[in-house]
Amino acid sequence: MSITVYVPCDSSAVSLGANRVADAIAQEAQKRGIEINVVRNGSRGMYWLEPMVEVATDKGRVAYGAVKTSDVASLFDADFLNGGVHALNLGLTEEIPYLKKQQRLTFARVGITDPVSVEDYVAHDGYRGLKNALSYSQADIVKHVTDSGLRGRGGAAFPTGIKWNTVLNTPSEQKYIICNADEGDSGTFSDRMIMEGDPLVLIEGMTIAGIAVGATQGYIYLRIEYPHALEILNAAIANAYAANYLGENIQGSSKTFHLEVRQGAGAYVCGEETALMESLEGKRGLVRFKPPLPAISGLFGKPTVVNNVISLASVPVILDKGGEFYRDFGMGRSRGTLPLQLAGNLKHAGLVELAFGATLREVLYDFGGGSATGKPIRAVQVGGPLGSYLPESQFDTPLDYEAFAAIWAVLGHGGIVAFDETVDLAQMAKYSMEFCVEESCGKCTPCRIGSTRGYEVMDEIVAKRDLDKNIPLLRSLCDTMLNGSLCAMGGMTPYPVLSALNHFPEDFQGR
Amino acid sequence: MSKTIVIDGKVIPFEDGQTIIQAATAAGVYIPHLCHNPKFTPHGSCKLCTVKVNGRNCSACTFPAAKGQTITNITKELNDDREKITQMLFVEGNHFCPSCEKTGNCNLQAVAYHLGMTDNHFPHFFENREVDASHPDVMIDHNRCIFCTLCVRASQQEDGKNVFAISGRGIEKRLVVNSPSGLLKDSDLDVNDCAAHICPTGAILIKRTGYKVPIGQRIFDHAHIDTVALAAEGASHDE
Ligand SMILES: NC(=O)c1ccc[n+]([C@@H]2O[C@H](COP(=O)([O-])OP(=O)(O)OC[C@H]3O[C@@H](n4cnc5c(N)ncnc54)[C@H](O)[C@@H]3O)[C@@H](O)[C@H]2O)c1
Ligand SMILES: Cc1cc2nc3c(=O)[nH]c(=O)nc-3n(C[C@H](O)[C@H](O)[C@H](O)COP(=O)(O)O)c2cc1C
Ligand code: SF4
Ligand code: SF4
Ligand code: FES
Ligand code: FES
C-alpha cells in the first residue's frame, strides 16, 4: 500500500518552494524504491510553516514544516513516511494549536482534500448542501440563507438572504450569478485560498445560488493576478461538469447551471460590483450609479446575484447543516464565522477562521504571535486599504460588524495588517491617498480630484510644511470625499486617512 | 397627486419612474446640478446634485423618487460640499473666466456664483490641455472640460452619432473625439448637432459667434441659475 504525502499547490506555498519540495520528495522516494502517492492539497493557512508537508498515518496526518528541498533526504532518513521524529516534525496537523483553536466551517476541507477531485470532495461531505437544496423549494433555500444570518463577506456585510430574495422575486427569463473573485484588498488572500484549496465548495455554493434564484448561468470574475487559481478552478469546473454537478439536468434534477471563469484586467475598482459588471460586459470599468441595484438590473440589465467568494463558499455548509447551525456561531448581528487573514508585521501570518466575537487582541497575539520583529504592535489596519487604522487602545474591540462601525472602522473582507512602532502613520495616510489616485475610476468629482489633491496635501504634511493650513485642508477634502463620492473607493479612502490622523496625531505634527 | 416626497419641508408630487431631480424641477424646486440634463439619460458623475434622502447622501439626478422620502436640499452642509465640488472642478481644469467666451453663459460659473464661491480653496492643477480648432465651425478647448459627458450623450442620444467619448482612468481621464486622427475635423460633427451646443462650460464653442451677445447682456448677467434652469428644464408651476 502506498503512503500518501501532501504538498500544497497553494500559490503562497509554491512561492516558498512547494513545487520543488514535491519534486524532491517524489525523486527521493523513487531513488529509495518506495511507492508514494503525492497529493497537491490546499494550504492549511499557516504560512510561516509553508511548504508544510503532511503524511497520512494511522493516527492521522503528521505535519512537517517548513520543508526545504535540502531537508528531504533527512526526512526520509527519519522515516517521516511513518510520522518519524525529525526537527521539522510538527506533530498531528489537527493538533497544531493555531489550527485546533479555529472554527473552520467555510474552510473545513481546505488542505484536507485534493482540490479538483469531485470524489474526494464528496467523500468529505461535499455536495450535501446541494442535495438538500434540490429537495427544497426556491423560497426555502433562500430562507435557510436568510436564517443563517450570513452577510456579504466582500466587505459591505449586506444580508445575503435578502439579496437572493430580491433576485428570486424579480421576474426575468434570464438571471445571473456572479462570484466576485477580484480580491483587490491588500493583505487578503482568503478568496484565493478557497479557489486554490477547495474550489468545489465555491462551485457548489454558486450552483445552489443559481437554483435558489432561478439563474442558469454563473460567472467567476477572477483577478488576473491569480493564474494558479484560474488553472485549479477550470480543472474543478471541468470535473464538476463531467460528474454532472454542473450543466444540464444536474444529478437528474432537471435543473441547469452553467459556470465559467472570466478574468479581470487588474483594476482595483473592478471589484466594485457595478464596475465589475461593466467589465464583464466588455466595457470600461466605470462605476454605475445605484439604484438600480444589481439584484434588479445587473449584468446585461438582468437580475443578478453578485457575491464574494467567501459568501458563496459559506452556502454549502448552511444548506447541509441548516441555517440555525450556522447562526449559532457569532455575536450580535454578526453570525457565523469570518475567515481572517493575518498579514503584515506578525510572527504567524495566515488564515484564521473564527466565529465573530473574538477580540482583535486575541487574534493578534494568540494566533498572530505578536509582531515578527518583536517590537510592540502600534497600529493595525483592518478591512483592506479602505479600512481604518486602529491604535492599541482599540485592540479589545470584538470582531463584529457593529462594534467596528461604532469606532468608525470596518471589518470588511477580514484582512488584518499589523505594523510595529516603526510605522509612520502620516506616510500610511499619504499612501492611502496615492492608492485612491491610482485606482479611482475617475467618474465622480470628489474621488478623482479629491484624491489627487489629497495626495499632494499629504506630501506637504509628511514634509511638515504649513501644517496649520494643510491639516484643515486635508479634513475638508476628506469630508467632500466621504459625502460626495459615487462609490466606496472615494467614499472610504478617508477611513484610513482620518483614522491615522485622529489616532496618531503625533505622526502628523511638526518636528 | 397621491404620491409625494418632501424636499426641505415642501410636499412635492412625483410619478413612478421619476428621479428626485425630475420631480423637484417639475415642482419648481432647484437642485444644483451640472452633468444632469433632462433630455438625456443620467450620468451621475459631477455629484453636485447630492441631497440627503432620509439621512443618506444620494445623487438627485439618478435616485428614483419614492414614497416616504424626506429630503434635504438647500442646507449649509450640502451647499458647503457642493461649493467644494465646484472648487475641485475649477482647479482641475483651467478656467480663466474673464478671458473666456462663455463667461456669463456658463453653467459652471453660474453655479459657482449661486453657491457663493469666492475662491478656489484648493491648489490649482495647471494642467497642460489642448485646444482642437481643426473643425471649420466648432472648437474644443479641453482646458474647460469638466467631463460631464453631455456632449457624449447628446451625440449618441440626440444626433444619432458617436462623436465624443471619455478615455483614460482616474485623474488621467480625457474627452476624446472618435475620429481616425482624433481631431474634430475628421469626425462627422455638424455645427447644427445638439452635441455642439450642449456644453455647460466653455469647452465646446461655435466659431464666429464669439461675443455676438455682449458681456452684460448674457444669460446669467440678469438671472440666477436656479430660475434659468427651472425655466429651461420644464418647471410646470406658475408662481
Ligand atoms: N474584498 C475586497 O477586496 C474589497 C475591496 C474594496 C472594498 N471592499 C468592500 O466593499 C464595500 C463596499 O461595497 P459596495 O459599494 O458594493 O457596498 P453596498 O453597501 O453598496 O452594497 C453591498 C451589497 O449589497 C447589495 N444591496 C444593497 N442594498 C440592497 C437591497 N436593498 N437589496 C438587495 N441587495 C442590496 C449591493 O448590491 C451589494 O451587492 C466596502 O465596505 C469595502 O469593505 C472589498
Ligand atoms: C472599490 C471597491 C472594490 C471592491 N472590491 C471587491 C472585491 O475585490 N471583492 C469583493 O468581493 N467585493 C469587492 N467590493 C464590494 C462589492 O462591490 C460588493 O459589495 C460585493 O461583491 C458583494 O458581495 P457580498 O455581498 O457577498 O459581499 C468592492 C467595492 C468597492 C467599492
Ligand atoms: S468655462 Fe465657464 S467657468 Fe470656465 S473659464 Fe469659461 S466662463 Fe469660466
Ligand atoms: S466638452 Fe463640455 S459637454 Fe463635453 S464633457 Fe466636457 S464639459 Fe461636458
Ligand atoms: S471616481 Fe469612481 S468612485 Fe469616484
Ligand atoms: S447632476 Fe447629479 S451627479 Fe451631476
A90-146, pLDDT tens digit by residue?
A: 999 999 999 999 999 999 999 999 999 999 999 999 999 999 999 999 999 999 999
CATH 3.10.20.740 fits B4-80+229-238, yes or no: yes
In terms of domains, do A296 and A230 share one?
yes
- CA of A81 relative to ligand 5 center, distance in Å: 55
In terms of domains, do A315 and A344 share one?
no
Q: Is residue A111 a part of any domain in this protein?
A: no
Q: Is residue A48 a part of any domain in this protein?
A: yes
> Which DSSP symbol is given to A289?
P
B81 to A485: CB separation less than 8 angstroms, yes or no? no
| Pick from A105, A14, A148, A89: nearest CA to A352 | A105
**Which residue in B has a C-alpha nearest to residue A491's C-alpha?**
B57
**Which residue in A has a C-alpha nearest to residue B63's C-alpha?**
A291
| Per-residue pLDDT reduced to its tens digit, A2-36 | 899 999 999 999 999 999 999 999 999 999 999 99
| Mean pLDDT over each residue of chain B, to the nearest integer | 95
**How is residue A502 written as a grid cell?**
485622529
CA A504 vs CA A383, A396, A432: distances in Å: 19, 18, 15
In terms of domains, do A438 and A472 share one?
yes
Return the CATH number at A414: 3.10.20.600
> Which DSSP symbol is given to B19?
B
For ligand 2, whether the C-beta of A368 sits within 6 Å is no
* Pairwise CA distance, residues B194 & B199, whole Å: 9
Question: Cβ of A486 under 8 Å from any chain B Cβ?
Answer: yes
Q: Is the pLDDT of residue A295 over 70?
A: yes
In terms of domains, do A294 and A376 share one?
no
In terms of domains, do A89 and A131 share one?
no
In terms of domains, do A298 and A168 share one?
yes
Q: If DSSP codes are grouped into helix, strand and coil, which group holds residue B136?
A: coil
| Residue A506: half-sphere exposure toward Cβ, Cα within 13 Å | 5
Report pLDDT for B238. 41
Q: Is residue A110 a part of any domain in this protein?
A: no
Q: Is residue A104 a part of any domain in this protein?
A: no
By residue range, what is the domain housing residue A255?
118-327
Q: What's the maximum distance between 2 C-alpha atoms anywhere in chain B?
A: 55
DSSP readout, A377-388?
A: EEEEEESGGGSP
Report pLDDT for B237. 46
- For ligand 5, atom 1, which residue shows the shortest CA distance? A442
Sheet of B204-206, strands arranged across? B131-132, B138-141, B204-206
In terms of domains, do A81 and A163 share one?
no
Return the CATH number at A172: 3.40.50.11540
| Per-residue pLDDT reduced to its tens digit, B185-227 | 999 999 999 999 999 999 999 999 999 999 999 999 999 999 9
In terms of domains, do A304 and A167 share one?
yes
Asked whether B154 and B194 are in contact (CB, 8 A), the reply is: yes
In terms of domains, do A162 and A235 share one?
yes
| Per-residue pLDDT reduced to its tens digit, B40-85 | 999 999 999 999 999 999 999 999 999 999 999 999 999 999 999 9
- CA of B92 relative to ligand 4 center, distance in Å: 14
Specify burial of residue A227 (Cβ count, 10 A radius: 0-12, 13-18, 19+): exposed
What is the number of domains present in chain A?
Answer: 4
Return the CATH number at A80: 3.40.30.10
In terms of domains, do A471 and A407 share one?
no
Percentage of chain A exceeding pLDDT 90: 99
* Pairwise CA distance, residues A200 & A236, whole Å: 6
Pocket-testing residue among A182, A188, A273, ligand 2, by greatest number of atoms within 8 A of Cβ:
A273
For ligand 5, whether the C-beta of A492 sits within 6 Å is no
For ligand 3, whether the C-beta of B142 sits within 6 Å is no
Give ranges for CATH 3.30.70.20 in chain B.
94-222
Report pLDDT for B235. 58
For ligand 2, whether the C-beta of A202 sits within 6 Å is no
Angle, alpha carbons A44-A48-A54 (nearest 5°): 45
Q: Is the pLDDT of residue A511 over 80?
A: no
Alpha helices in B135-211 (DSSP H): 150-157
**How is residue B197 written as a grid cell?**
451646443
- CA of B93 relative to ligand 3 center, distance in Å: 10
Question: From the CA atom positions of chain A, what is the Rg in Å?
Answer: 23
CA A103 vs CA A59, A325, A356, A412: distances in Å: 22, 13, 10, 19
Instruction: Please list every residue in chain B whose beta carbon sits closer than 8 Å to the beta carbon of residue A274.
Output: none
Architecture of domain B94-222: 2-Layer Sandwich (3.30)
pTM, two decimals, is: 0.95
Partner residue facing A443 (CB), from B45, B57, B63: B45
In terms of domains, do A440 and A382 share one?
no
- CA of A489 relative to ligand 2 center, distance in Å: 10
In terms of domains, do A404 and A340 share one?
yes
